[in-house]
Amino acid sequence: MTARGPALRLLPALDDDNRFFWTSGADGRLRFLRCPACRAYVHPPAPRCPECLAAGLAPEPVSGRGRVVAHTVNVHGWIPGSEPYLIALVEIDEQPSVRLTTNLVDVEAEDVATGMAVEVVFDEHDGVFLPLFRPAERTAP
């Protein structure tokens, strides 16, 4: 049985730049900053669009769907009490250059394939909504 993540969640320190991201899951939606000029999604948060340097970036919801770029099962007990858990790099469907390091959940390690479709699910810890990913229940696009 692959665990959902480490036994203890080390959490981000929320500030004015990242709060929208880490609390976005309160309504079940994943959000990234988006450029009003070139429409690029920007991650991690930045004061201007790193592509076209436009100002005025604002959070926008995305579908929450993505694909697994790479994955690993952490076995070593860095955090006491942890069972093996899946760490993955997931690229988002809207813009594959935007990636999240995350945990894959509701899936056994041997069933994970590179490129598999996944969808976001949030685990809340002390007001922080961690975006995790599970195998997608694909509907026709």
Partner 1 sequence: MSPPAEEPLERRAAITGIGQSAVGRRLGRSGLDLTVEACLAAVADAGLTRDDIDGLATYPGMGVGTPGFAGPTGPEVHDALRLRLNWHDGGGEGPGQMRALIAACLAVGAGLARHVLVYRTVTEATAQGGGGRQGIGGDGGGDGGGGVPRFSGFLQWMLPFGAVSAVNWIALVAQRRMHEFGLTRDQLAQIALNARRNAAENPAAVFRDPLTLDAYLGSRMISTPLCLFDCDAPADGSTAFVVSHRDYAPDAPRTACHVQAVGTALRGRPSWDQFDDLTTMAARDAAAAMWERTDLRPADVDVAQLYDGFSVLALVWLEALRFCGRGESGPFVADGTAIARTGSLPLNTAGGQLSGGRLHGFGLIHEACVQLRGDGGARQVVRRGGPPEVAAVSNGGGPIAGALLLTRGRG
Q: State the residues that interact with partner 1 by CB under 8 A.
A: 5-6, 8-15, 18, 43-44, 69-76, 78-80, 82, 85, 87-89, 97-103, 109, 114, 128, 130, 132
The values of phi and psi at residue 115, to 5°, are: 90, -5
- Which residue from 105, 101, 139 is spatially nearest to 1, judged by alpha carbons? 105
**Cα angle value 119/50/103 (rounded, 5°):** 25
Name which of 64 and 141 has its Cβ closer to partner 1. 64
Nearer to partner 1, 88 or 141 (CB): 88
Least CB distance from residue 95 to partner 1, whole Å? 12
Please state, as a whole number, how many other Cβ atoms lie within 10 Å of the Cβ of residue 69: 14
Shortest gap between Cβ of 14 and partner 1 (angstroms)? 8
Shortest reach from residue 100's CB to partner 1, in Å: 7
> ∠107-18-95 over CA atoms, to 5°?
55
Q: What is the residue whose two structure tokens read 């099962």?
A: 73
Question: 10 vs 140, which CB is nearer to partner 1?
Answer: 10
Question: Tokens 């981000």 belong to which residue?
Answer: 12
Tell me whether residue 101 or residue 141 sits nearer to partner 1 (CB atom).
Answer: 101
Q: Which residue, 16 or 140, has its beta carbon nearer to partner 1? A: 16
Backbone angles phi, psi at 139, to 5 degrees: -105, 165
Q: Kindly state the smallest distance separating residue 139's Cβ from partner 1, in Å.
A: 26
Residue 38 beta carbon to partner 1: minimum distance, rounded to whole angstroms: 17
